[in-house]
Amino acid sequence: MDAGQLLNLVSKPRTNHDLRDLLLYVVIAVALVTGVIWLAVHDVDHHIITDAHQRYLGAGIFTCFVFGFLISNNREMWRSPRVWMLWVVFLGAHLAGWSRYMIGQVTGVPIGLYAIVAVAEITVFSTLSTFVFLRSSEKP
């Protein structure tokens, strides 16, 4: 796929569902950016200097990215209750894994580690989701 084909996919919604999804993504992005700006202004106004907000914000954005990507790229699995239950388990494991970082027991996580962990989580979660989906859609 060349850059022109990719641009056509991104720039022209093909169906009403694509337009709806695009609008939903824009609303989510605007909400996230608004939250980040509000938090930054609030902290400056109140002279709050802490990295707790950065930890929670980083973990929140990271979680939105991983699970947004997982759910949006596996649309064919949306009707499977088993896959949704699996995704809830993944979310619990993801949050449990990052809880030590969020409460401050682990500090100084470089941004590159977020990218590596994101790719690993998406790969593992997508592979297991596909396996569960294929197993649940088999006819006995």
Q: Which of 5-19, 31-45, 55-69 has the highest mean pLDDT?
A: 55-69
- 84 or 11: which carries more pLDDT confidence? 84
Rg (CA), the chain: 18
- Give me 128's structure tokens: 């297991």
- 63 or 50: which carries more pLDDT confidence? 63
Rounded Cα distance, 77 and 133, in Å? 6
Q: In this model, does residue 5 exceed pLDDT 60?
A: no
Q: Which amino acid is at 57?
A: L
Mean pLDDT of 83-101: 85
Q: In this model, does residue 127 exceed pLDDT 80?
A: yes
Cα–Cα distances in Å, from 103 out to 51, 59, 67, 98? 11, 11, 21, 9
Q: In this model, does residue 9 exceed pLDDT 60?
A: no
Residue 89 pLDDT grade (very low, low, confident, very high; cuts 50, 70, 90): very high
* 8 Å CB contact between 55 and 108: no
For all residues of the chain together, what is the average pLDDT? 75
108: left (phi over 0), alpha (psi -120 to 50) or beta: left
DSSP single-letter state for residue 48: -
Rounded Cα distance, 34 and 40, in Å? 10
Question: Tokens 């949704």 sit at which residue?
Answer: 84
DSSP single-letter state for residue 139: -
* pTM greater than the 0.85 cutoff: no
Mean pLDDT of 59-74: 83
Q: In this model, does residue 38 exceed pLDDT 60?
A: yes
